[in-house]
Structure 1
Amino acid sequence: MKIAIVGAGAIGGYFGGVLARSGAEVSLLARGPHLQAIQARGLRVQTADGEDFTVHPKASDDPAALGRQDVLIISVKAPALPALAPQLAPMLGPDTAIVTAMNGIPYWYFHAYAGPVAGRHLKTVDPDGAIWRALPPERVIGGVVRLPSSVPEPGVIRGLTRANLALGEPDGTQSPRLASISQALMAAGINAPMRSDIRHDIWVKLLGNMAFSPCSVLTGGTQAQVAADPAMRAVLTALMREGQSVGEGLGIRFEVSVEQRVTEGGGVALHKPSMLQDWEAGRPMEIESIIGAVAELAAMQGIATPTIAIVLALLRRKAALQQA
């Protein structure tokens, strides 16, 4: 199986490293000093179990140089995908599968969807449909990542826990391609369960991200610091309750209470959400896929989300000032 990692940073680089070590034919699409270090010295991976190894997969910033693949695992930040997606054409063969291992609501959300507001298009995530056209949703297998990791220096990936990548077909079927990709990931040491409702997994992760990430950016605090402030805890709770209402309107059922989610999120000591890390590094933040899309889905259903509207307005203005 030829597997290409599109965006070989903290998440994608970890996946690529352990897959290459397991014997898969791996290619990495990367850029800048990180790519240069991989090409010069290989990709070094440090796992939570204390393993430290180096692999030498093919790496380039040119999709054409990597050629056609059986599977693309896309782990770039959401703001980069609209411009990048059309460039991936040389990597797509007739049967290439695309795994979206990204944060937030994905562009393909309403593909093979029979629930409320079916057939809609998410303008916050894919404004002009460029991603949908370049990466047809029929190719997609949804993915939900849970992997705290970092790039301490170019060419080095450090994982803090075992990697988890839940996988699911948008139509809920247990397809042969889903099984083969799950098996390849499991053989590499990645927990890759097959889900019959991947949208549920998306929302379970999103509910925490859409509350903690914006509040961490707006305050500069870690998750624990934000949750420890009673006033901010009230904001987190309001955000999650509104987000839960939007998800429930789309048929999602949440087993854990909002109060428990806030407590659990605040229990992650010293953790900075990736959105805050992006803000501090001057990188574009995943505002639209994580919270903008929730506001759009709320508007589709006629659900009032006043707290989300205020926080989203503040976050968008902060991002605009950063880029000015």
Structure 2
Amino acid sequence: MRILVVGAGALGGYFGACLARAGRDVDFLVRPARAELLRARGLRVRDLDGGVESTPVSVVTADRLGADYDLVLLAVKSYGLEAAIKDLSPAVGPRTAVVPFLNGMRHVDALVERFGADRVYGGVGLVQTRLGAEGEVERVGDLAELVYGPLSDTPVQPLERVHAALDGAGFAATPAPAIRQRMWEKWVFLATLGACTCLMRGTIGPVNRAPGGAEFTSAMTDEAVAIATASGFPPGEEFLRWARSVISDTTAANSTTLYWDLTHGNPVEADHIIGDLVHRARDLGVPAPLFSLARTHLSVYAAALAADA
């Protein structure tokens, strides 16, 4: 199966490197500057002990793309989605499955509108990585799992074949027929942890230790659960126990890439992760004052960042 990985950042770079090392037929769709770097140095992954492994990879730019791929793994930031869809479109043929690993749900509508539900999967990427100053992928935790499943009852690539292409490559590969439920649960967790830490400008332990912090994080969790439930995807009890335990922790330094980007002067995925949740809450008549506040806070930051660009 021919695989195209769109994006060689923290998520796409890590999982794509794993697939390449496992001998899968993988190309990376990247910008010209990134392509030049990867051709010269390979795709570099720094492990938890500080060691760096460089994997030679095949790269392609949008102007040289053809429709001869069976599987497209989309791993870009949400604010790059529109450009990514334009770039990858020539690679999508009648038997191509597109599997996105973006956060939230808004990207699903855009992909289905462009390619059709039978060619789009849902996906959840779980990995603790970030992109280093020199373009290397840095692991900051052990978690590494891809979860995926078709959105249609008649996918152009059956789940068994997609699973065979991703399984056994050095990370957990999990087929999930009920993929929308998994996507919503990750969204609830990520949005809540991200909003809590971004609003309070601190990792979750100090937030919960502050006066009123525990009540704040609990109320934020309740809002996210209410929105998901009203949308038809109530989080499961086991997931909720785990999520609440993480979000209420008083000792851990847990945060999200949303918080990392905010505190390091980078663009943030505020509209996709927080803003879309607020829009859905308003459409459904679900009160979400804390998420609305987080959206305003991140919007002010994004506007200031744009003004300085």
| TM-score of Structure 1 vs Structure 2, range by shorter chain | 0.7 to 0.9
User: TM-score w.r.t. structure 2 length?
Assistant: 0.87
User: Is residue 269 of structure 1 aligned with residue 252 of structure 2?
Assistant: yes
CA, structure 1 residues 258+78, in 2 after alignment: closer, same or farther (shift >3 Å)? same
User: Is residue 303 of structure 1 aligned with residue 286 of structure 2?
Assistant: yes
CA, structure 1 residues 321+178, in 2 after alignment: closer, same or farther (shift >3 Å)? same
**1:45-194 alignment, distance < 5 Å:** 45-47=45-47, 53-60=53-60, 62-68=61-67, 69-108=69-108, 131-159=111-139, 160-171=141-152, 177-194=158-175
Q: Is the 8 A contact 1:166 1:194 kept in 2?
A: yes
Q: Which amino acid aligns with 1:64?
A: D
User: TM-score w.r.t. structure 1 length?
Assistant: 0.83
CA distance in 1 between partners of 2:82 and 2:168 (Å): 32
What is aligned with 2:179? 198
* Structure 2: gaps (5+ residues): none
Identity of matched residues, %: 29
Q: Is the 8 A contact 2:72 2:97 kept in 1?
A: yes
CA distance in 1 between partners of 2:51 and 2:155 (Å): 33
CA, structure 1 residues 168+106, in 2 after alignment: closer, same or farther (shift >3 Å)? farther
Q: Is the 8 A contact 1:174 1:196 kept in 2?
A: no
Q: Is the 8 A contact 2:74 2:99 kept in 1?
A: yes
Listed one character per residue, the Cα deviations across residues 221-259 of structure 1 (whole Å, up to 9, x for unaligned) are 123222332423322222221111111122223214867
Q: Is the 8 A contact 1:108 1:137 kept in 2?
A: no
Q: Which amino acid aligns with 1:17?
A: A
CA distance in 2 between partners of 1:16 and 1:222 (Å): 29
Listed one character per residue, the Cα deviations across residues 164-189 of structure 1 (whole Å, up to 9, x for unaligned) are 01111124679853222222221212
Listed one character per residue, the Cα deviations across residues 55-76 of structure 1 (whole Å, up to 9, x for unaligned) are 211124x223243321111110
Q: CA RMSD in A?
A: 2.7
**1:206-285 alignment, distance < 5 Å:** 206-254=187-235, 255-256=237-238, 261-265=243-247, 267=249, 269-285=252-268
CA distance in 2 between partners of 1:31 and 1:253 (Å): 39
CA distance in 2 between partners of 1:231 and 1:192 (Å): 40
| Count of aligned positions | 303
